[in-house]
Amino acid sequence: MKEKNSITPHTKVLCIIGNPIEHSMSPTMHNAAITNLRLDYIYLAFKIMPNNLNFAVKGIRAFNIIGINVTLPFKQKIMKYLDEIDPMAKKIGAINAIKNDEGYLTGKNTDADGGLNALRNEGFKIKGKNILLLGAGGAARALSIKMAENVNKIVIVNRTLKRAINLSQTIRKYFGINSEAKQLNKNILSEECKKADIIINTTPIGMYPNVDESPIPPECLHEDLIVYDIVYNPIETKLIIDANQKGCKTLGGLDMLVNQGAIAFEWWTNKKPNTSLMKSKIIEFLGINK
Ligand SMILES: NC(=O)c1ccc[n+]([C@@H]2O[C@H](COP(=O)([O-])OP(=O)(O)OC[C@H]3O[C@@H](n4cnc5c(N)ncnc54)[C@H](OP(=O)(O)O)[C@@H]3O)[C@@H](O)[C@H]2O)c1
């Protein structure tokens, strides 16, 4: 973050809006990147009451806030207030970043690219693979719709079957690939884990404080699997610990978090942030905030 006395009338404002917002890691990682690049920016967090979303968007224009992250519960609801939505975000049906060009607001979904880049950066290939996706919420939509361009098949397993059916229909409609929807239960998981190449958990099961929970019984896991858990708090979830013990290749959610932030940061500032620094600041933050 900029030193307090170095904030001037020229300082440009970036922010995140959501509710709740107190536990967001975005200010920590973005301000670290700003300081590191010696940019005249500051990144703040605003808790917005749901009834005030339209006023918040007016405020973004009025105060010329130039880059905005959007988190729960506004990722879908905010779209109608924007001037333009990037085509991939339209397919996903949600945005998590906005750029303000002199009052013209464009929305985009950097979760999708951030989540996929995290896999690719680890050398995991998705082309032609069979994906088992746990969850059918916002993150599941972002990842599966982005991945559908390349993979062989996506099986979506969700607590609420109807949401999984909707998502698999969208995938088939846009990309013509094979996609099935199934109810989340132990038998289905046991069956589907045998057929999958990559498992992606997008449910919050195992997230702090419920760190002893896992969405997949360990006996379903086997060493040919890549297991990707997008939960980042704790950094190593029970699912990742179990998968490592079974000899699977694994990836946690921290890289997705950093990558989605880095894509937005570069979009707003035209500068590449130091992602290793952003990651280490989050690890520090998670350590302190337990
Ligand atoms: N690493 C990253 O950068 C990143 C980015 C985005 C999200 N995330 C993480 O991903 C998780 C999901 O986020 P989201 O935005 O997709 O949330 P969301 O839109 O609320 O979706 C949550 C999904 O998880 C399922 N679910 C919730 N609680 C469950 C439970 N107790 N048992 C079984 N299924 C359950 C929901 O099923 P129903 O349809 O039945 O409700 C839904 O499919 C969160 O933990 C979030 O922190 C990480």
Span 25-67, pLDDT tens digits: 999 999 999 999 999 999 999 999 999 999 999 999 999 999 9
Marked catalytic residue, from 2, 4, 47, 75? 75
Report pLDDT for 46.
98
Report which of 144, 133, 149 is spatially closest to residue 197, judged by C-alpha positions: 133
Q: In the structure, which protein residues have their CB atom closer than 6 angstroms to any atom of ligand 1?
A: 72, 111, 135-140, 158-160, 163, 184, 202-205, 207, 230-232, 253, 256-257, 260
Is cis: bond before 218, omega within 30 of 0? no
Domain residue ranges of the chain, discontinuous segments joined by +: 4-108, 112-254
pLDDT value at 231 more than 60: yes
75 is catalytic: yes
Q: Identify the band that residue 2 occupies on the pLDDT scale cut at 50, 70 and 90.
A: low
Report pLDDT for 219.
97
Level-2 CATH architecture, domain 112-254: 3-Layer(aba) Sandwich (3.40)
- Residue 135 CA to ligand 1 center (angstroms) comes to 6
Report pLDDT for 260.
98
Report pLDDT for 4.
52
- Residue 202 CA to ligand 1 center (angstroms) comes to 5
Per-chain mean pLDDT for the chain: 95
Q: What is the CATH number of domain 4-108?
A: 3.40.50.10860
